[in-house]
Structure 1
Amino acid sequence: MDVSKVLLVALILVICAVIFQLIGLASPYWVTADTATTKTNSGLWRTCTEGVQTGLTTCVDTKDIFLDNDWLEAAQAMGILAFLALLVAVVTTILKLFVMKDKKPLLFAAIGSSFAGALFILISISVYADNLNDMFSSRSFDYAFAFVFSILGMIVAIGAGVAMLVELLKK
């Protein structure tokens, strides 16, 4: 079985990008904020607050916290579109590698969807970070692991797209 090593690396990278984006999309740990009485973590979908003394945790939908939440819906939509685009990249790369080896349009689709996924992640994290910084400029908060996983997903998706471009230019 003659499988391109570069395309195999691209497949592994794009699968990693999907996993990173899934973790970033689903986890409520995009930002954390601690005060003397509470520990709060928030993501695209849920915000949870734990009382330091009581240990009681309450979670609400993130959209219920912000009165003007159009920006949050935009970040959510871009995150979902990124995940879907990366799934398309995985499927088209698998098809190109193992099923339709001689079909160049599949490689074009894989490259395009990989870069599109990275662009959607960039828009999602930019919209989220910009609006959060504007709203809470006087409060202290830290970006957490899920935010970082989304960034890693974007970087890895770009790497996968570049590897696919190398494969395209090689022939």
Structure 2
Amino acid sequence: MEGSKFLIVGLVLAICAFIFQLIGLASPYWIVAEITSLKMNFGLWKYCFQSPILSHTTICRDVNAIITEDWRDAVRAMSILGMIALLVSVVMTILKLFAMKESKIPPFVAIGTVFAGAVFILIAIAVFAAKMNDGSVISVPFDYHFAFAFCIIAMLAAIAAGCIMVVNVMK
């Protein structure tokens, strides 16, 4: 039973990582910027702006209109692959806990996919940050916002889940 406690903790962390990644992937708040009184926020799919001229109405548009480079698609792809890998890890861990209790394969698949998910998310974060910081996309000062932070937290939770799952396998 002691080993399954580690597996349950790993499952909870993997579920948290999946939820954080889902929120980070879907939200248009990866970065925020303000030019005079115009407030803008950008995500992987949409960018929004709010202007006092328009009675503080928020208008959102597809990010494809301002970012046409291939790196945007790479960041999206890595983020989605990370989320899928985390989902596979959650499913494999649930299978090990409830359906395939004697099988040795699900924990190894769960460990591999949770670490793969963390690597995919790391690549997405690194590419996005590098491209945003080089000044070619946005030339005004900006801050990273909660969706970007949620992806970082998802990556860290996935690494923690993988480490705990490894401890479970080693027992």
Same fold (TM over 0.5): yes
Report the equivalent of 1:43: 43
Map 1:41-120 → 2, pairs under 5 A:
41-53=41-53, 54-67=55-68, 69-120=69-120
Helix, strand or coil at the partner of 1:157: helix
The AA in structure 2 aligned to 1:56 is T
Question: Amino acid of the residue matched to residue 41 of structure 1?
Answer: N
Cα deviation for residue 52 of structure 1 reads 2.9
Aligned residue-pair number: 169
**1:103 aligned partner, one-letter code:** S
For residue 101 of structure 1, report the CA deviation from its aligned partner: 1.1
The superposition leaves residues 108-140 of structure 1 with CA deviations (integer Å, 9 ceiling, x where unpaired) of 100000000000000001111100111257420
CA contact (8 A) 1:13 1:156 kept: yes
Contact 1:3 1:97 in 2 (8 A): no
**1:10, 1:164 within 8 Å by CA — same for their partners in 2?**
yes
Moved more, 150-159 or 46-55: 46-55
- Residues in 1 aligned to 2:158 and 2:86: alpha-carbon distance in whole angstroms: 8
- Give the structure 2 partner of residue 139 of structure 1: 140
Aligned to 2:152: 151
Q: CA deviation at 1:2?
A: 8.4
How far off its partner does 1:63 sit? 1.8
Question: Mind listing any 5+ residue stretches in structure 1 that lack a counterpart?
Answer: none
Unpaired runs of at least 5, structure 2: none
SS in 1 for 2:29: coil
| Higher mean C-alpha displacement, 132-141 vs 88-97 | 132-141
What does 1:115-134 correspond to in 2, within 5 Å? 115-134=115-134
Secondary structure at the counterpart of residue 101 of structure 1 = coil
Is 2:12 the counterpart of 1:12?
Answer: yes
Cα RMSD (Å):
1.5
Q: Tell which deviates more after alignment, 133-142 or 41-50.
A: 133-142
Contact residue 74 and residue 124 of structure 1 kept, 8 A: yes
- Residues 32-91 of structure 1: CA distance to partner in whole angstroms, max 9, x if unpaired? 001113100000000001103421222111121124x20000000000000100000000
The change in CA–CA distance for 1:140 and 1:2 in structure 2 (over 3 A counts) is closer
